[in-house]
């Protein structure tokens, strides 16, 4: 549905999007996850044809966004980070204006307005001034205008930013609902939000695509980093000797020695339970006991932090300065 190839964007000499490529399939909810400044809005603005790229290409259902902008843009509904809402108008007037700009007229326009008003739950406020609406309702109006013209893809840039917790839940539910009938791409800097709503996560860090997979697979990849934490009455030397016979045990880190030894053990292999079992059996009959044994699993949060905090990647401002 959307093919992005080697997308690159410089603002002056600053590299904001660094050679990003990915393909978006029909009928899923995709989350663009990344901290502020990662390049999410820049990427979305380019995909939707609102901003030119320095290099690379974007095709929407085969239509190049620069070569066939009309055909490509018709397939996309976009809620930018700062939507241009007309505060003195009512949602209804605003939707009519946007609908006409999208080429809708007469009965079809009226029908579609009624439909998006219903879908986004703004019927009760459709004749009030937009200025008088809460941020949550304004965001719904923004989503409603994106839905006009019945585009196949809906792109929402940080739709939950600035909302209160209840409004956030409502907008998330709305995104899920839209995901049943549209391909949805939305951006967020909140991991749990993306994890809760998306089928696929695109992690963006410093202008690069750092990971692209399902939340489940991203979690699974982490199993390789698994670690056991144990507390034992064996002294560190004794523990070392005990674990020497455990093949799956890779590195041993002693965290404290008194009153008991607290240590973590990592495994090279992917199976944390095999390590756990081997450690348990090594203790059995050794004369020492395991007072505590726990699995320290990696979380998506860990990967996210790791990916977004790695310094010195190309695209970092300091790398740019040297070149320019």
What residues make contact with ligand ADP under the rule CB under 6 A? 11, 14, 16, 34, 36-42
Which is nearer to Mg ion, 40 or 73 (by Cβ)? 40
Site string for Mg ion, 17-46 (x = CB under 5 A): -----------------------xx-----
Which is nearer to ligand ADP, 12 or 165 (by Cβ)? 12
Shortest reach from residue 81's CB to Mg ion, in Å:
5
Radius of gyration of the chain (CA): 26
Q: How many residues does the chain have?
A: 324
Which is nearer to Mg ion, 156 or 282 (by Cβ)? 156
Both tokens of 193, joined, read: 């939000």
Shortest reach from residue 132's CB to ligand ADP, in Å:
29
Which is nearer to ligand ADP, 37 or 237 (by Cβ)? 37
Which is nearer to ligand ADP, 53 or 252 (by Cβ)? 53
Nearest to 74 by CA among 150, 145, 3, 142: 150
Q: Decide which of ligand ADP, Mg ion, none touches 64; Cβ closer than 5 to 8 Å per partner kind.
A: none
**Contacts (CB under 5 A) with Mg ion, residues 74-93:** 81
Shortest reach from residue 209's CB to ligand ADP, in Å:
12
Buried b (16+ CB within 10 A) or exposed e, 184-202: bbbbbbebebbbebbebbb
Number of residues in contact with Mg ion under rule CB under 5 A: 3
Q: Order of strands, edge to edge, in the sheet holding 63-64?
A: 14-24, 2-11, 55-60, 63-64
Which is nearer to Mg ion, 117 or 143 (by Cβ)? 143
Q: Decide which of Mg ion, ligand ADP, none touches 182; Cβ closer than 5 to 8 Å per partner kind.
A: none
Distances 228 to 88, 261, 299 between C-alpha atoms, Å: 60, 14, 14
- Give the Cα separation of 314 and 324 in Å (integer): 14
Who's near 91: CB < 8 A, 6+ residues apart? Answer: 117, 122, 125, 126, 127, 128, 130, 133, 141, 144
Q: Decide which of ligand ADP, Mg ion, none touches 14; Cβ closer than 5 to 8 Å per partner kind.
A: ligand ADP
- Give the Cα separation of 112 and 95 in Å (integer): 9
Q: Decide which of ligand ADP, Mg ion, none touches 34; Cβ closer than 5 to 8 Å per partner kind.
A: ligand ADP
* Binding stretches for Mg ion (CB under 5 A): 40-41, 81
């Amino acid at each position: 549905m959307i093919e992005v190839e080697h997308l690159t964007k410089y603002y002056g000499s600053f590299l904001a999007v660094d050679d990003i490529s990915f393909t978006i399939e029909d009928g899923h909810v995709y989350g663009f996850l990344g901290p502020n400044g990662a390049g999410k809005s820049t990427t979305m603005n380019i995909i939707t044809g609102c901003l030119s790229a320095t290099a690379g290409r974007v095709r929407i259902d085969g239509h190049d966004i620069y070569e066939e902008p009309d055909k490509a843009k018709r397939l996309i509904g976009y809620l930018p980070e700062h939507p241009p809402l007309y505060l003195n108008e009512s949602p209804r007037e605003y939707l009519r204006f946007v609908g006409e700009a999208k080429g809708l007229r007469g009965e079809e326009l009226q029908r579609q307005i009624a439909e998006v008003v219903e879908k986004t739950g703004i019927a009760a406020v459709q004749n009030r001034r937009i200025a008088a609406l809460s941020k949550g309702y304004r965001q719904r109006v923004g989503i409603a205008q994106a839905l006009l013209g019945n585009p196949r893809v809906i792109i929402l840039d940080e739709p939950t930013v600035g909302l209160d917790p209840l409004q956030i839940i409502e907008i998330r539910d709305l995104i899920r609902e839209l995901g049943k009938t549209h391909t949805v791409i939305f951006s967020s800097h909140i991991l749990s939000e993306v994890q809760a709503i998306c089928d696929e996560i695109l992690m963006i860090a410093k202008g690069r695509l750092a990971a692209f997979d399902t939340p489940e697979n991203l979690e699974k990849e982490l199993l390789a980093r698994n670690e056991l934490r144990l507390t034992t009455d064996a002294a560190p030397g004794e523990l070392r000797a005990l674990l020497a016979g455990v093949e799956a045990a890779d590195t041993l880190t002693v965290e404290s020695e008194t009153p008991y030894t607290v240590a973590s053990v990592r495994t090279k292999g992917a199976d944390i339970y095999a390590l756990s079992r081997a450690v348990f059996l090594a203790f059995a009959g050794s004369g020492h006991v395991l007072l505590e044994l726990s699995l320290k699993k990696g979380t998506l949060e860990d990967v996210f932090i790791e990916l977004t905090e790695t310094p010195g990647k190309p695209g970092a401002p300091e790398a740019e300065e040297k070149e320019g």
